[in-house]
Amino acid sequence: MNALIQHHHFILHKPYGFLSQLINNQNKRKNKRLLGELYDFPEGTMAIGRLDENSEGLLFLTTNGKVSESIRSAKVEKEYYAQVDGIITEQAIKQLQEGVEIGINGTKYNTKPCKVRAVITIGDFPFADRKVRDARHGPMSWVSITLTEGKFRQVRKMTAAVGYPTLRLVRVRIGDIFLKLKSGEIEKTNSF
């Protein structure tokens, strides 16, 4: 008779400057900050989906591969707030909503239609007070992009494709779970 395996699940506000991995297994990234510095995760813990080093926000971690696969599926929405260079136009928002062409590993890829809207106020999200540049370099604006896919640096590539490069990127929602923790905070949970 097989004993039930006890899995562990975590919700994390990944800070800017950290890689979405727990241990360093690459020679070229020796000085990078890893999630394992934030908490002593159980063996076998993996990030569900990744945020690049310069991105921040909501990240799930688990020891259960089936849960990871389910959350990474197209059934679960992921919402990002992107601070972009310039005041984003309705035309650019419409292009993003309909899908844009980006490059993935040297191949052209058309993103799936998605939900996009301009963000006037950040609301109650616990963003770290981090300046990406000062006002002398021109205006900036925020846009919400909700995807059901997750290609490599997709949001950054999408906003650049419509002429508004991303300056700061924060994942604020995965499915029905919203970002509520402060940068670097971790919460252990029974499920997602």
Catalytic residues: 52
Q: What is the enclosing helix (H) or strand (E) of 93?
A: helix 90-98
> CB–CB of 23/34 below 8 Å?
yes
> CB–CB of 166/145 below 8 Å?
no
Q: What is the enclosing helix (H) or strand (E) of 164?
A: none
Q: Which amino acid appears at position 95 of this protein?
A: Q
Buried b (16+ CB within 10 A) or exposed e, 79-88: bbbbbbbeeb
Q: What is the enclosing helix (H) or strand (E) of 131?
A: none
Cβ-based burial of 18 (10 A; exposed 0-12, middle 13-18, buried ≥19):
buried
> Which residue, 122, 133, 147, is CA-closest to 86?
133
